[in-house]
Structure 1
Amino acid sequence: MTQKRILMTGATGFIGSHLLLRAAGSHAVHALVRGRAGESPRDRLAEALHKAACSYRPVADTTGLLDRVEAIEGDLDVPLLGMSDATREALAGIDEIWHVGASLQPFDDEHCASQVNVAGTRHLLELARELGVRRFVMVSTAYVAGTMDGRVPEALHHAASFNNDYERSKAQAEHLAEQFCAQHGIALDILRPSVVVGPRSSKTTGGSRTGLYGLMRELQRIAKAARRAGQDVLVLPGREGRINFVPVDDMLDDFLAIAGEPATPGCRVHHLVNSRDFPVAVLMDMLAGRLGLSAIRLQEGTQSERLRFYEGYTRNDKLFERARAPHAEMSDADMLNYVEAGLRELKYGGLDELFRMHRLQRPGGGELVAYECGDAGKPAVLLANAYGMPVDVWFPLAVALRRTHRVLTWDCRGLPDMSGDAQQFDAMDVGTDTYVDDVFTVARAFGVEQAALAGWSTGALVAAKAAARAPGFVTSLALLHGSFMLKGSELSKFQKNMKLLMPKVASSRGTARMMFNMVFSQEQRSFMFSWADQMLKRKVEQMMGQTDPAYQHLIAMPTRGVEEVYRYARMVTRFVDDAPEKWLGRIAAPTLLVTAHGDSTAHPDGTCRAAALIPGAQLEVARDGDHFTFYNRQDLRERVVSFLREPAAAMPLAASWQ
């Protein structure tokens, strides 16, 4: 891609920060940033980039990125953005303007929306003319069609009415830009995303607080009040139409592809939308289930001032035309995971709000990404995650622990920590002792001489082995749904299939590619599988289908691509080779083991047998629950926190356990 000089607005916003994260390495970007008392434009950019980076898994590396961006203080509300003559002179000759800044607040009044979205666009166009810009790229919205239904072409509209002032102001800005650019010979690309959600790869909010997430926040508030009043059914304004959601990474794939094409005289309009319009009724059912309600119903004529902005989108029966190739369809499972992750962030905050991130150096070379929350003066607790799992799974427990502990966790080397190329990974020892080494690398980096230790799934074995290696280091130990495949213990279908399939997949990247294409690729395949391939496919689907669909975003990384499939297979193959029965008896720390009868990922028999081998261990077995009980059960989290803080005084769980 040819490097361009670009003036960009909206870089501290949701879409703009994600765009800057991807574009800064390829272009010379001058980012317009509104001034704020006590905070420099550069600091605001750094904060926005960090938030955007933290929404990807693994967290995107922003090292050196800010040095490639010039932060320019300016304000869309004033002519020529309030820039000095010297600043405008320095910008003369830039190639393009990318106009991403806008007012998206649902309760802004008409004047505010018009001031930012219309007057701000006019001021930017006037600056474009003065600077001699050849191309103007502006982000609008697919919903400038207003209240019209049916097919929506990729063309300027002349809607008679709109659902809200935001739509009206964006439509006015489009017409203003088209007329101005035609008059002054500036190529114009109008990009119309639908309702933008967080990254497809992680299902996090991406830092957005509007659109789907604004609706969720309002529904959460209303649902809480309804439950207090003894109601479990919400009746809200609107009707059951369809909404188009587009992940921000899909949207930016389109944005950068369009920006990479030669500028075309005149005005081009592009719909940046998903290939599926999602049924509002299905979305409301998902939200009801996660908000503790039996139903959310939509009814014409119902009044709700707080939901007035969103009502128009529930009525939508638009079909957005799109000339570009379609993105992967937004499935029910995708949306369920966006809902789950969005509500989790509403409750606990995003990664950047909960954790402080650190990039450490391993003694043998290579980087280790660690996360810290809580007061550094409190006792430390280290959390060993399952292989290939994102830090998100620890959010509920970390929030509970940080009141009494300094919480430290880290990305598992190889996956999700994919730093280093394929050759470096192939040379890496991925035996369990390597992952135990990382426990102590983190402890040394933070000056921790003793700590409580907890681990989940495969991470439970890593935590247990660390406690066996250094008895004096671990003050208390919690092993949550450990994947203990001891000699003679019963195995779940998941564990049996792991033992059977992972060594084959780990044999080569070619085999991993076959597995990925056969089971995990979203491409449509036209050839028939052989009988053996069908059997293999069925076993893999059995193996990956043991989890609540709402948690798929938490376990998706090992199947995201060929390299991820290969790395996970190598790591698991070496994990299975371990023989915990040889060293579990050396654990001296007070130990709590937790499992559930309904855990179809790690068979509870392994945990029960491990408990019998660890001197003085306590065992909790949930009658119900699954592999994520520590994630979704507050009573278990309280038990774990109590035990890690004061093992001798910790009380057993209620009789519903055992």
Structure 2
Amino acid sequence: MLGRKTQRAVADLVARVLSVRPLAEGLDVPARVVPVNREGVVVPPGMPAAQGRALAKLLERVASRAGVAGLAPAFDAVFDDLQVFERVISRRLALTEWVTRASVVPVDLLHEVDRTVAEVVRGSFEAFARKETVLSSDGVPLNVYAAGEGDEAAVLIPACGMPAVLTETWLRYLARDRRVLTWESRGLFGASGHCGDHRVDIAAQASDLFTTLDHHGVSRAHVVGLCGGAVIALAAAAERPERVSSLSLWHGAYGFADRSLETKHQHDLIELMTTAARSRPSARVVHAAFCQAMLTSTPADVAHLVLYPYATAELLYRYCRLNTGITSTDVGPYLPRVDQPTLVVTSRDDDIAHPAGSERVAAHLAAGRLRVEPHGDHIALFSAADALLKVAADFMTEHRAS
């Protein structure tokens, strides 16, 4: 029988396996996994062969029971010889840390792992946010998610190309007393049968918001936009104001005709994405450089999620076409057409999306309210503390949908 310490360690492993699902399933081939810690260091060195086999069997069992494909234990491989995303996944799983916390599960006790896997899955994001795949207005499959109950609804628009699970903190908090809906960017996340050459302009992406609302029978909702999602939110509110009761826009990556309010990060990223979006051959040429740049600038604790759209050259191509559809949009013409109450949030030290962009947006909205935090950026936003999430919830309460 498994001891409590081992059961807790197995539960942690299950959670980590679930967390790498988007990246593992986005790769062209199974990701080789080697036993390292979170820094990519083999500790302890020289794992006994029997222990390694037992750990590999445990990982295979957990992945299978959790429904996560694309993981391939390769304990004879060298960490530095792995591909970029294989290293990200191996560091996230941190199998050597697991070994130091618990005894390896014997093969004849693997069936006892199943109960722990089931318990973790029942409490996971995948179980909390009900996922369905629906067709957009132009026939593109969309993964849409719903959580919570209540008469009032909110729609969360995440950063372009990011897995829905990256917004888990937001969904769990906001769903305490309302229905919360979200979706994943079109053409990504297993949109099989589509070549990725469908519409990617801002109008198409805004229409996906209405597809999500219609599918869940919601006529009017509060809309929360994160990063590039803030641009989609403005476009949707301007196009169909009767569907949007209020807006809150967080660290928006806004584009203007004069391109004067771009950080160096925005400018460099837009230039690289524009190149990758030109064609699939162009995306293949810049893919390796893109991956290395993002890997070195992305914190390890979110790399397994944030790096999803860079997993393959094909994903990069699709993602860059979507994102340039956002970054090439001048939000200026939308602002006079948006009269819903709007909370615009930025921070003084956001070096990813220029804070002055948020200031300009708030100043030109009829009912705009600017909030400037002392610190914060896009990465911190994904795991926002309750105090910040309460700001979003309180704004919704103040402007309840009618």
Band the TM-score falls in, shorter-chain normalisation:
0.7 to 0.9
What residue in structure 2 maps to residue 418 of structure 1?
Answer: 191
In the TM superposition, what are the counterparts of 1:169-180 in structure 2 within 5 Å?
none
What residue in structure 2 maps to residue 351 of structure 1?
Answer: 125
Is 1:638–2:395 an aligned residue pair? no
What residue in structure 1 maps to residue 75 of structure 2?
Answer: 273
Q: Select the structure with the greater relative contact order (CA < 8 A; seq sep ≥ 6).
A: 2
For 1:608 and 1:348, locate their aligned partners in 2 and report how far apart those are by CA, in whole Å.
42
For 2:217 and 2:278, locate their aligned partners in 1 and report how far apart those are by CA, in whole Å.
39
Question: 1:603-648 deviations in whole A, cap 9, x for unaligned?
Answer: 2111111111111211111111221343232211111011122249
Contact 1:593 1:611 in 2 (8 A): yes
For 1:519 and 1:198, locate their aligned partners in 2 and report how far apart those are by CA, in whole Å.
31
Question: 1:566-603 deviations in whole A, cap 9, x for unaligned?
Answer: 11221222222211001112112111111122322212
For 1:612 and 1:337, locate their aligned partners in 2 and report how far apart those are by CA, in whole Å.
42
Question: 1:59-98 deviations in whole A, cap 9, x for unaligned?
Answer: 979xxxxxxxxxxxxxxxxxxxxxxxxxxxxxxxxxxxxx
What residue in structure 2 maps to residue 515 of structure 1?
Answer: 286
Contact 2:137 2:207 in 1 (8 A): no
What residue in structure 2 maps to residue 596 of structure 1?
Answer: 347
What amino acid is the match of 1:627?
H
Give the superposition deviation at 1:275. 3.3
Contact 2:148 2:180 in 1 (8 A): yes
Contact 1:348 1:395 in 2 (8 A): no
Contact 2:141 2:191 in 1 (8 A): no
Distance 1:499 1:195, change over 3 A: same
What residue in structure 2 maps to residue 364 of structure 1?
Answer: 138
Higher helix share: 2
What amino acid is the match of 1:410?
W
Distance 1:613 1:333, change over 3 A: same
Question: 1:424-461 deviations in whole A, cap 9, x for unaligned?
Answer: x22x1100100100111111111111111111111111
Is 1:249–2:70 an aligned residue pair? yes
Contact 1:411 1:417 in 2 (8 A): no
What residue in structure 2 maps to residue 498 of structure 1?
Answer: 269
For 2:47 and 2:242, locate their aligned partners in 1 and report how far apart those are by CA, in whole Å.
69
For 1:399 and 1:385, locate their aligned partners in 2 and report how far apart those are by CA, in whole Å.
14
What residue in structure 2 maps to residue 461 of structure 1?
Answer: 231
Distance 1:367 1:329, change over 3 A: closer
Q: What's the Cα RMSD here?
A: 3.9
Distance 1:149 1:273, change over 3 A: closer
TM-score normalized by structure 2? 0.74
For structure 2, the 5+ residue unaligned runs are 1-13, 27-43, 99-118
Distance 1:576 1:328, change over 3 A: closer
Give the superposition deviation at 1:415. 2.7
TM-score normalized by structure 1? 0.47
In the TM superposition, what are the counterparts of 1:7-26 in structure 2 within 5 Å?
none
For 1:612 and 1:347, locate their aligned partners in 2 and report how far apart those are by CA, in whole Å.
45
Larger Rg: 1
What secondary structure, in the 3-state scheme, does the structure 2 residue paired with 1:598 have?
coil
What amino acid is the match of 2:163?
P
Give the superposition deviation at 1:393. 1.9
Is 1:373–2:143 an aligned residue pair? no
Of 543, 549, 571, the match for 2:322: 571
Question: 1:79-119 deviations in whole A, cap 9, x for unaligned?
Answer: xxxxxxxxxxxxxxxxxxxxxxxxxxxxxxxxxxxxxxxxx
What residue in structure 1 maps to residue 40 of structure 2?
Answer: none
Distance 1:454 1:327, change over 3 A: same
Distance 1:476 1:59, change over 3 A: farther
For structure 1, the 5+ residue unaligned runs are 1-47, 62-147, 158-166, 168-189, 209-246, 255-271, 279-325, 521-539, 649-658
For 2:315 and 2:173, locate their aligned partners in 1 and report how far apart those are by CA, in whole Å.
31
Question: Does 411-420 or 439-448 show the bigger shift?
Answer: 411-420
Is 1:391–2:161 an aligned residue pair? no
Distance 1:638 1:579, change over 3 A: same
- Count of aligned pairs: 343
